[in-house]
């Protein structure tokens, strides 16, 4: 059997980008994805690249690197990813505080501008100005996530990455005098030996880590949204609320006093929220959403009819022409961490076990972080990657 330097678990944007970058460093990589057709956050992502939104030296640097990377990524991967820069319109309801909403973005690398409901409708004709007290706008990156996943995967395979579709049954670990040592994984009763395993499984990362006794501050929401078939152009912009409730939901539900809830199903640390928004991709399909809930069972039952009705009602307020558009309800898991930064690096106490997950702003951060992490493990220590260490 072929030997591998790294086994990467998870074939979404994180796993494929990381596999590609590791292969660029000359490493032998096996990528393991459990589904033939992806059903996770990469599949149902809005595709936004918020390169402008960094508020610290770390996130500003990664935002700048992300934009530079995306500008040439189609050429690098020799596949189209449909990178573009469009207008982002962030809505503020009539009862909202425009000044307060703008202040929340004041420390961004490129703070958005305040605009009136009239100007917002000029940018996005589908908006209902009567439902707005104002809006914020800026230029915003956008890709087709699944084209990007496919482009990374093909480029990785060209560099020698082996890809298998299978569910990891067991992560094999040997106890040592101090650390525990990774031995590889078992898939369909076949052992794949390696001294390094990277968990890049998005919303399933916590479950995989827990299966080997690892407890890290990585969590997940259940996202609900509506997807349409390709249709005539209707949205010019990406529409999101200025005050995204999901951020607060992640912060509150990951507080230390809720930690024990996440170790067993049947809990919901915080009530679900709904952030109404939408995007139309270059091929014409629409995504409208989204509900986020913190049910601690990855397989928790959700009510499609209730979720779809709630989304359509909220969309009807701000984008009335899209309220009744034909579409299908979907769900997926979305990973997040306690501090809005991903967990990237070696898991403390486990020699050879790494994590690459918890990205709250995944499409912005993953390409530059994957490139840096691959160089970090293959060549020299990267101080930026050290700041993302899971034991921080």
Examine the fold and report which residue of 337, 353, 369 is the final residue of a domain before the chain moves on.
337
Q: pLDDT for 161-204, tens place per residue?
A: 999 999 999 999 998 777 899 999 999 889 999 999 999 999 99
- What was the pLDDT predicted at 179? 81
Q: Are residues 233 and 101 in the same domain?
A: yes
The reply to whether 34 falls in a domain is yes
Q: Are residues 121 and 231 in the same domain?
A: yes
Range 201-216 average pLDDT: 95
Q: Are residues 258 and 327 in the same domain?
A: yes
Q: Are residues 231 and 174 in the same domain?
A: no
Report the CATH number that the domain containing residue 223 is assigned in CATH: 3.30.9.10
The count of structural domains within the chain is 2
The reply to whether 21 falls in a domain is yes
The reply to whether 191 falls in a domain is yes
- What was the pLDDT predicted at 327? 98
The reply to whether 259 falls in a domain is yes
Q: Are residues 165 and 289 in the same domain?
A: no
Is 143's pLDDT higher than 90? yes
Q: How confident is the model at residue 134 (pLDDT cuts 50, 70, 90)?
A: very high
Q: pLDDT for 241-286, tens place per residue?
A: 999 999 999 999 999 999 999 999 999 999 999 999 999 999 999 9
Q: Are residues 211 and 345 in the same domain?
A: yes
Complete DSSP assignment for 19-60: HHHHHHTT--EEEEES-SS--STTTT---EE-TT---SHHHH
Identify the domain containing residue 66 by its residue range: 6-80+145-217+340-386
Q: How confident is the model at residue 1 (pLDDT cuts 50, 70, 90)?
A: confident
Query: Helices 145-158 and 57-77 meet at what angle, rounded to 10?
Result: 70
Q: What is the spatial distance between Cα 207 and Cα 216, in angstroms, rounded to a whole number?
A: 10
Is 319's pLDDT higher than 80? yes
Q: Are residues 316 and 212 in the same domain?
A: no
Examine the fold and report which residue of 312, 337, 362 is the final residue of a domain before the chain moves on.
337
- What was the pLDDT predicted at 180? 92
Q: Are residues 197 and 253 in the same domain?
A: no
Range 220-241 average pLDDT: 98
Q: How confident is the model at residue 302 (pLDDT cuts 50, 70, 90)?
A: very high
Least confident range of 122-126, 210-214, 233-237 = 210-214
Q: What is the spatial distance between Cα 23 and Cα 260, in angstroms, rounded to a whole number?
A: 38
- What was the pLDDT predicted at 184? 96
Q: How confident is the model at residue 335 (pLDDT cuts 50, 70, 90)?
A: very high
Q: Are residues 164 and 303 in the same domain?
A: no
- What was the pLDDT predicted at 178? 76
Long-range contacts of 373-379 (CB under 8 A, 24+ apart): 373/18, 373/21, 373/344, 373/345, 374/18, 374/21, 374/22, 374/24, 374/25, 374/27, 375/21, 375/25, 377/6, 377/22, 377/25, 377/196, 378/22, 378/25, 378/26, 378/27, 379/25
The reply to whether 391 falls in a domain is no
Q: How confident is the model at residue 66 (pLDDT cuts 50, 70, 90)?
A: very high
- The torsion of the CA quartet 79, 43, 191, 21, rounded to 10 degrees, works out to 40
Q: What is the spatial distance between Cα 200 and Cα 133, in angstroms, rounded to a whole number?
A: 40
The reply to whether 172 falls in a domain is yes
Report the CATH number that the domain containing residue 364 is assigned in CATH: 3.50.50.60
The reply to whether 392 falls in a domain is no
Share of residues in the chain with pLDDT > 90 (%):
97
- What was the pLDDT predicted at 2? 84
Say if pTM beats, i.e. exceeds, 0.85: yes
- Evaluate whether 42 touches 335 at the Cβ level (below 8 Å): no
Examine the fold and report which residue of 337, 360, 376 is the final residue of a domain before the chain moves on.
337
Q: Are residues 210 and 123 in the same domain?
A: no
The reply to whether 239 falls in a domain is yes
Q: How far is CA 387 from CA 52, 327, 349, 351, 368, in A?
A: 20, 42, 18, 19, 14
Q: What is the spatial distance between Cα 114 and Cα 126, in angstroms, rounded to a whole number?
A: 19
Q: Are residues 223 and 210 in the same domain?
A: no
Q: Are residues 46 and 92 in the same domain?
A: no
Is 130's pLDDT higher than 90? yes
Average pLDDT, the chain: 97
């Amino acid at each position: 059997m072929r030997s591998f330097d790294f086994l990467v678990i998870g074939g979404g944007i994180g796993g494929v980008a990381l596999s590609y970058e590791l292969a660029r460093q000359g490493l032998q990589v096996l990528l393991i994805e459990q589904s033939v057709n992806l059903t996770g956050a990469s599949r149902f992502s809005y595709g936004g690249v918020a390169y402008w939104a960094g508020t610290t030296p770390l996130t500003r640097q990664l935002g700048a690197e992300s934009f530079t990377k995306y500008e040439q990524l189609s050429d690098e991967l020799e596949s189209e990813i449909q990178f573009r820069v469009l207008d982002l319109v962030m809505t503020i309801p009539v009862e909202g505080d425009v000044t307060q909403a703008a202040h929340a973005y004041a420390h961004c690398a490129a703070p958005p501008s305040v605009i009136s409901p009239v100007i917002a409708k000029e940018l996005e004709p589908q908006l209902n100005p009567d439902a707005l007290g104002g809006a914020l706008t800026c230029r915003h990156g956008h890709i087709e996530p699944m084209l990007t996943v496919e482009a990374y995967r093909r480029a990785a395979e060209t560099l020698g990455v082996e890809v298998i579709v299978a569910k990891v049954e067991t992560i094999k670990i040997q106890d040592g005098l101090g650390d525990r040592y990774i031995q590889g994984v078992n898939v369909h009763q076949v052992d794949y030996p390696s001294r390094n395993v990277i968990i890049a499984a998005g919303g399933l990362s916590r479950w995989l880590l827990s299966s080997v006794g690892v407890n890290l501050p990585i969590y997940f929401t259940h996202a609900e949204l509506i997807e349409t078939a390709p249709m005539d152009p209707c949205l010019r912009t990406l529409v999101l609320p200025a005050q995204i409730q999901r951020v607060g939901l992640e912060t509150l539900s990951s507080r230390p006093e809720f930690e024990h809830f996440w170790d067993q199903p049947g809990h919901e640390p915080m009530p679900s929220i709904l952030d109404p928004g939408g995007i139309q991709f270059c091929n014409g399909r629409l995504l409208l959403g989204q509900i986020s809930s913190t049910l601690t069972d990855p397989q928790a039952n959700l009510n499609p009819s209730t979720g779809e009705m709630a989304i359509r009602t909220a969309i009807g307020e701000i984008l009335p022409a899209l309220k009744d558009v034909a579409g299908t309800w979907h769900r997926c898991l979305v990973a997040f961490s306690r501090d809005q930064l991903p967990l990237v690096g070696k898991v403390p106490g486990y020699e050879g076990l790494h994590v690459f997950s918890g990205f709250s702003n995944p499409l912005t951060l993953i390409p530059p972080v994957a490139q840096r992490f691959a160089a970090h493990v293959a060549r020299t220590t990267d101080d930026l990657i050290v700041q993302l260490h899971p034991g921080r």
